[in-house]
Structure 1
């Protein structure tokens, strides 16, 4: 494990991550920081806890939408593969006749 520091809204947080995950975690932290700053700019009179909560909900919504899209794509892929398999089976049957 490797110790790193990430910065979100100007505050540093120490984390322990696998070396292979360091770059990814830095990108994730940057994304979270950007989202928090965006909300802070839009809601500058709100306390940081409110801003962080709303930003976290927004990030979670993005995650859920991506998961939904991923499921839909997997379902479409399954249908396409099923059609290809059926077509191949039909083709093989025609050849055998």
Structure 2
């Protein structure tokens, strides 16, 4: 485990992560910080907790949309593979 610090909304947050995850953790923290700052700029009269909750909801929405798109692509890929397998089976039957 490696100790690192990430900066989110001006706060240094100490974390312990696997050495192989240091770079990705920093990128994730930067992404979260950028979302928080974007919402902070748009909602300057709201408390930090509200800004962070709304930013988290936005991030979660993005995750759910991407999961849905991925599932759709996986389903289409599976359908296509089934079609290809059936065509191969038909071709083999025709050869026999």
TM-score bracket for this pair, using the shorter chain length:
over 0.9
What is the CA-CA distance between 1:85 and the residue it aligns to?
Answer: 0.1
TM-score by length of 1: 0.98
The CA distance in 2 between the partners of 1:22 and 1:73, in whole Å, is 30
Structure 1 unpaired stretches of 5+: none
Secondary structure of residue in 1 paired with 2:46 = coil
The CA distance in 1 between the partners of 2:36 and 2:90, in whole Å, is 56
Residue matched to 2:84: 84
Question: What number of residue pairs does the alignment pair up?
Answer: 96
TM-score by length of 2: 0.99
Residue matched to 1:18: 18
Residue matched to 1:29: 29
Residue matched to 2:65: 65
Structure 2 unpaired stretches of 5+: none
What is the CA-CA distance between 1:4 and the residue it aligns to?
Answer: 0.3
The CA distance in 2 between the partners of 1:9 and 1:16, in whole Å, is 19
RMSD: 0.4
The CA distance in 2 between the partners of 1:7 and 1:70, in whole Å, is 31
What is the CA-CA distance between 1:38 and the residue it aligns to?
Answer: 0.2
